[in-house]
Structure 1
Amino acid sequence: MNTPLTAVNHRLYTPINALITHAEHLQAQSLSDLLGSHSATATHRAEALAFTFGSLHVDFSKQRLTTETLALLVDWARSTGLEKKRDALFSAAVVNPSEQRAALHMAARWPTTVTPPDGMQAAAAFCQQQRTRLAAMVERLHRGEWFGASGQSITDVVHIGVGGSDLGPKLISEALADRPSHTLMNVHYVSSMDGTQLLPLMESLDPATTLLVLASKSFTTADTQFNVQTALTWLSESLELDVPTVCCHQLVGVSSKPDKMTALGIPAAHQLVFKDWIGGRFSLWSPIGVSIAMQLGMANFNALLEGAHALDRHFLETPLADNLPVLIALVGAWNCQFLHIPTHAVLPYDSRLKSLPAYLQQLEMESNGKSVCLNGRAVTHATCPIIWGDVGPNAQHAFYQLLHQGGHTVSADFVAVAEREVAATQDVQALLAAQEELTLANCLAQAQLFALGDDAIPTALRGHMAQGYRGNQPNSLLLLKQLDAGSIGALLALYEHKVFVQSVLWDLNPFDQPGVELGKQLATSLYQTLAGGPLEYAVVKDPSTEQLMQKIGEWRRHSSMNESLN
């Protein structure tokens, strides 16, 4: 039975205490109890927990909560000062205190026809000016007027980045450039520091017609620097031209450090700049997205920004109780902090969204995977869950067995697309429509089974099939009317603002990532040791790492001896 607010001791009342008490009582109810059969109460609850914004529909009715839970969660959000902090975010206040910066990725998608909030005007104007430069580059490329160093028109673009400079553009490319008819330029993505993504491109692409896009906020990331040096060397040797000449014609730079782009030899006309107040994992809307525009055209790139901007306005202007980013953030916090669910699966039922789990892993875990509050004190409760997942139809044949009948409780986001337009013959269209319906049916069935467990087995089948479906796995279903630039823009902006809301709830800074720095420094020292160069940092010695270094050296010496004998 749910506990009304009046039952909470008012002398000890805080929104957190109310939620803890409420969670204890709600634990006695399963999702089968909450969903009921076809009772009026269950129907009213399902209707009250479904929300629509444009072509995006979000259903929370398979979450382990009630309308009272949402009211308590919204009360908690208000108590944190979320509304004022949201306004501060949009007005260029310093919301990244460790780096003394604002966080204005929303400015990168602010249209020229809409007046920005006070404080954002200069940022929006700068982003719009860079967007104009980006559009000019893209149009030049599409007109066939961008020539390589040997005078031939560019046919292929290799986008070199890592993390936020790769995951966002790559996700959009996979989602919207799923057919050759949708693309205006061939774009290839390279992020792996080991060079394995670059090697096949060097074997298959024409160096005379290949343009490199180096996307790096700091312009110092080792992964991208090594990849671009290898790619430039390939172009230089293949074209029999020096590297500076190749840089002048076949390299575009995107960074917050124009001086470093110039030092590398990139002409000013081939540089796109974004400011430090756009974080890497929030940057696909900035010039980091230039390869999206090269591949799909400016109309699609602008539609992507428009979809995200519409969600920005919804987040900024809508009351908390009806605000989709606020609600999805509160539901996520409810699951991990109050229901103690440590992992969250992202399960898109559309293979065009195959990179969505990886994109959200970085967005959420790098932002809120922290245990220290803004005031320097330790967090005393769970924050960001572990994000993981895969394309749903593939996942059903991989890890759903554990989710349905194993001992781990997870929460999940199912993501589905209601409609898909395909130009094909009538018979092929009919078959593709059947496949689409089968995919949607699987998505709905799995979400139902996650929630209901054995209670989802129809009466006629009981006794004729294995039971033991544990159920009670809370999940949301995010339904897109169709997968186009505007809808995916809104979807990704929804998750971005979810991250900010949860950071406010947990008193975290979501815009820095100090936890990744030490690993990079250790890697630099170990790299120098492996390469036989001078050490920049002292190497911390441990017997496990030392024996692995010895084994690498042993195998390399053995290979070198064999090569010399041959």
Structure 2
Amino acid sequence: MYTPLSAATQRVYTPVNALAVHAERLQAQSLSDLLGTTESAQRRAESLAFTFGTLHLDFSKQRLTNETLSLLVEWAHSCGLETKRHAFFAGAEVNPSEKRPALHMAARWPAGSTPPKGMEAAATFCQQQRMKMADLVQRVHSGEWFGATGQAITDIVHIGVGGSDLGPKLVSEALADRPSSVKVGVHYVSTMDGSQLLPLMETLNPATTLLVLASKSFTTADTQFNVRTALLWLSDALEVEEETIRRYQLLGVSSKPDKMTEFGIPQAHQLEFKEWIGGRFSLWSPIGVSVAMQLGVEHFDALLEGAHAMDQHFIAAPLDENLPALMALVGAWNCQFLNIPTHAVLPYDGRLKSLAAYLQQLEMESNGKSVGLDGRSINHATCPILWGDVGPNAQHAFYQLLHQGGHTVSADFVAVAERTASAFEHANTSLKDQEALTLANCLAQSQLFALGDDAIPPALRGYMAQGYRGNQPNSVILLKSLDAWSIGALLALYEHKVFVQSVLWNINPFDQPGVELGKQLANSLYQTLAGQPIEHQNVEDPGTAQLLRKVSEWRQQCNEKGSGK
């Protein structure tokens, strides 16, 4: 797995070299060895289980020992993690390429609690915006927000993309499992092709629909095209000028208040967050207004409370007990030292169906880089490829490859210990059985990932197919229940994991230059496809040219068919 180091390199002691040598030694030790029935195996398992509030993390099925953890913590100390963590919360310029801090923690800092020195102004601004958001939400819930024709708002269409969509959508799905808890209907639109918007245009009442335009830059093409189409729909259906629609049925959330005003959104209907909150870290800001609209401000506040509790833990806990630090170190161990290139996110609860997509952006857009803060190339992977699906579905899709194929992966299994059912009596009993079956599958699959053939009980050996490769490291994250506090703490845990790994790898997790060029190339191709003047001619290649010709050919055929030629 790990490329052996030269003898000369091994003689130079650094935490990284020590971990590399340690990784070589561990290759001969399987997870079956580490998870045996001896007292030492029991003590190891107990030492790798951690509880924080209603979250429980079990690292016992990771390919590591207590010595591994000690070396990993030493590595973190050598990188100056504690000092950089302090600077992070104090508003230091941790995003040097954009010359700004990263203070998304300020958006969940509670009023009445003193923030760290350097965060005071940011926390005060966020609390002011949170109060304004609460007033706007109350207007909708009390039936006092009226559309252009005088009817009260009943539905929200949240228009965003990336961080302005994934976080709020995940929380909305996770917490809206009981219809009685939903205050208004919320619908998420992010795809630039209009496929999500069109069904809403056919089913929602335009007179009672409020558009939420969530865009940090207020220039993202995907979002701008969707909102223009939505405004045309409302204007045409209600026979009202679009200017009037913008005044009554459009709420803006952005870091650019001047652009919101220019777009025709009244200041009273503008919510703002600052540039020091990155898009993929913006759920806690007014970007989450649609969550509050759907579920109530009290649930949104509980979400912030859970995240803030994790912030406090991350600030104060020693590294060997610090859950974000431990999760980051274990992930870096798998990626950098065990050379495991992919990481599966496997939630065993359908309400968390968007968790993998959310974490893909959070981790890969943050740490998917190969150049360090010092400008030097990094000679190892800095972030695994994240992917996944709801566990019970995944079992019938790609687990075959994971269990008996040739790829090594790491994984996070996420499960919920208890769920309050709300149906008639006999259905409640059946739902309890389904809950137990789901948990059983989660624990069984985690065990099988780790042990492989050794997980087959003696009574079934000879009757079951063999060839389960095992030795696939995985963590189990158990939530007591899926409530707002728990999911807030869970997502903040992953956020701080990203920061810790960026310190270990000496990269900037708060910019994303790799996404920009593709957008610029798309602008030129869009102008070509739309028959507009081309501002900047793209580099030509025969593959793209022939695709453009095929699109043109088929469009021409469609136009001729439509005109009866």
Q: Please confirm whether the aligned pair reaches a TM-score higher than 0.5, indicating the same fold.
A: yes
Contact 1:109 1:285 in 2 (8 A): yes
Q: Deviations over 1:272-305 (max 9, x none)?
A: 0000000000000000000000000000000000
Contact 1:175 1:352 in 2 (8 A): yes
Unpaired segments ≥5 residues, structure 1: 1-6
Aligned to 2:451: 452
Aligned to 1:19: 19
CA shift at 1:537, angstroms?
A: 1.8
Contact 1:374 1:509 in 2 (8 A): yes
CA distance in 2 between partners of 1:222 and 1:474 (Å): 40
CA distance in 2 between partners of 1:466 and 1:329 (Å): 36
Contact 2:10 2:21 in 1 (8 A): no
Aligned to 1:494: 493
Q: What SS does the aligned partner of 1:344 have?
A: strand
Aligned to 1:297: 296
CA shift at 1:565, angstroms?
A: 1.2
CA shift at 1:11, angstroms?
A: 5.5
Contact 1:453 1:471 in 2 (8 A): yes
Structure 1 residue identity aligned to 2:17: N
Q: What SS does the aligned partner of 1:535 have?
A: coil
- Alignment of 1:58 with 2:57, yes or no, is yes
Aligned to 2:334: 335
Structure 2 residue identity aligned to 1:305: L
Contact 1:521 1:537 in 2 (8 A): no
CA distance in 1 between partners of 2:69 and 2:380 (Å): 20
Aligned to 1:553: 552
Aligned to 1:97: 96
Contact 1:254 1:271 in 2 (8 A): yes
Aligned to 1:3: none
Q: Deviations over 1:32-81 (max 9, x none)?
A: 00101x21011000000000100000000000000110000000000000
Q: Deviations over 1:345-383 (max 9, x none)?
A: 000000000000000000000000000000111001111
CA distance in 2 between partners of 1:447 and 1:8 (Å): 39
Aligned to 1:400: 399
CA distance in 2 between partners of 1:8 and 1:150 (Å): 78
Q: What SS does the aligned partner of 2:516 have?
A: helix
Superposition map of 1:108-507 within 5 A: 108-507=107-506
Q: What SS does the aligned partner of 2:446 have?
A: helix
- Alignment of 1:510 with 2:513, yes or no, is no
Structure 1 residue identity aligned to 2:242: V
- Alignment of 1:70 with 2:69, yes or no, is yes
CA distance in 2 between partners of 1:551 and 1:538 (Å): 19
**4+ residue runs of structure 1 moved beyond 6 angstroms?**
7-10
CA shift at 1:10, angstroms?
A: 9.1
Structure 2 residue identity aligned to 1:533: Q
Closer, same or farther in 2 for the Cα pair 1:373/1:10, shift >3 Å? closer
Contact 2:153 2:210 in 1 (8 A): yes
Contact 2:9 2:17 in 1 (8 A): no
Structure 1 residue identity aligned to 2:58: D
Closer, same or farther in 2 for the Cα pair 1:535/1:114, shift >3 Å? same
Structure 2 residue identity aligned to 1:55: T
Contact 1:8 1:18 in 2 (8 A): no
Count of equivalent residues: 559
Structure 2 residue identity aligned to 1:441: A
CA distance in 2 between partners of 1:479 and 1:421 (Å): 16
Contact 1:185 1:294 in 2 (8 A): yes
Structure 1 residue identity aligned to 2:27: Q
Q: What SS does the aligned partner of 2:251 have?
A: strand
Contact 1:420 1:482 in 2 (8 A): yes
Contact 1:232 1:243 in 2 (8 A): yes
CA distance in 2 between partners of 1:425 and 1:142 (Å): 28
Contact 2:89 2:116 in 1 (8 A): yes
Q: What SS does the aligned partner of 2:434 have?
A: helix
CA distance in 1 between partners of 2:277 and 2:352 (Å): 24
Contact 1:169 1:292 in 2 (8 A): yes
Q: TM-score scaled by structure 1?
A: 0.98
CA shift at 1:9, angstroms?
A: 9.6
**Matched residues, percent identical?**
75
Contact 2:31 2:451 in 1 (8 A): yes
Contact 1:292 1:301 in 2 (8 A): yes
Structure 2 residue identity aligned to 1:352: R
Structure 2 residue identity aligned to 1:27: Q
CA distance in 1 between partners of 2:364 and 2:148 (Å): 42
Q: Deviations over 1:523-557 (max 9, x none)?
A: 00000011111122221110000000000000011
CA distance in 2 between partners of 1:524 and 1:348 (Å): 37
CA distance in 2 between partners of 1:66 and 1:138 (Å): 50
Q: What SS does the aligned partner of 2:392 have?
A: helix
Unpaired segments ≥5 residues, structure 2: 1-6
Q: Is the deviation greater in 300-309 or in 535-544?
A: 535-544
Contact 2:382 2:505 in 1 (8 A): yes
Over the aligned positions, Cα root-mean-square deviation in angstroms equals 1.1
Structure 2 residue identity aligned to 1:137: L
CA shift at 1:8, angstroms?
A: 12
Superposition map of 1:499-538 within 5 A: 499-538=498-537
Contact 2:54 2:479 in 1 (8 A): yes
Q: Deviations over 1:95-150 (max 9, x none)?
A: 00000010000000000121000000000000000000000000010000000000
CA shift at 1:425, angstroms?
A: 2.8
Structure 2 residue identity aligned to 1:14: T
Contact 1:127 1:274 in 2 (8 A): yes
CA distance in 2 between partners of 1:127 and 1:46 (Å): 42
CA distance in 1 between partners of 2:92 and 2:144 (Å): 42
Q: What SS does the aligned partner of 2:500 have?
A: helix
Q: Deviations over 1:177-216 (max 9, x none)?
A: 1221120010000000000000000000010000000000
Q: What SS does the aligned partner of 2:335 have?
A: helix
CA distance in 1 between partners of 2:183 and 2:66 (Å): 48
Q: TM-score scaled by structure 2?
A: 0.98
CA distance in 2 between partners of 1:278 and 1:182 (Å): 29
Q: Deviations over 1:332-355 (max 9, x none)?
A: 000010000000000000000000
